[in-house]
Amino acid sequence: MPRVRPGFDTAQMVWVRKEHGLEVYARNRWVDTPAHMLAPLLAQALQHSGAFKAVVQSPSPVAARLRLETEIVRLQQDFTVQPSRVQFTLSARLVDLGTRQVLASTEFDETKAATSEDAYGGVKAANQALERLLVKLTEFCVTHAPTP
């Protein structure tokens, strides 16, 4: 399960209209928290890459060689620019569970312009940013995972 920075661990959709000022939509919400929605998508993207024998979500009784630790740093619709844009930042660490060493660590930052100045435009932009982020995250894991 991805960790989440303070202010973003909510099903409320976050937006900003001034620097460091997080606000939420009054009538619009995510169907679940972003972390809960992201976890299965991460596993699915890694599994579909074909680079891993199996991908399981934690907690699991299955012994694993690697663990992907992720944290949602930012997921917000930014109205300080026009058109507004969604900013999605995710940090990732790939850990070798046998040696307990971090194999690689990085931060992904995707920004996508919204098609409309409302929550729906933000959702569409977030989905597009997420698609690009998942591709980059998968490439990161494939590149830094040790070969069996």
User: Residue 60: what pLDDT?
Assistant: 80
- Give residues with Cβ within 8 angstroms of 42, minimum separation 6: 2, 68, 70, 134, 137
Q: What confidence tens digit (pLDDT) does each residue in 14-69 have?
A: 999 988 889 999 999 999 999 999 999 999 999 999 999 999 988 888 888 999 99
Residue 129 has pLDDT above 90, yes or no: yes
* pTM for the whole structure: 0.92
**What domains can you pick out in the chain, each with its CATH number?**
3-144 (3.40.50.10610)
Residue 80 has pLDDT above 80, yes or no: yes
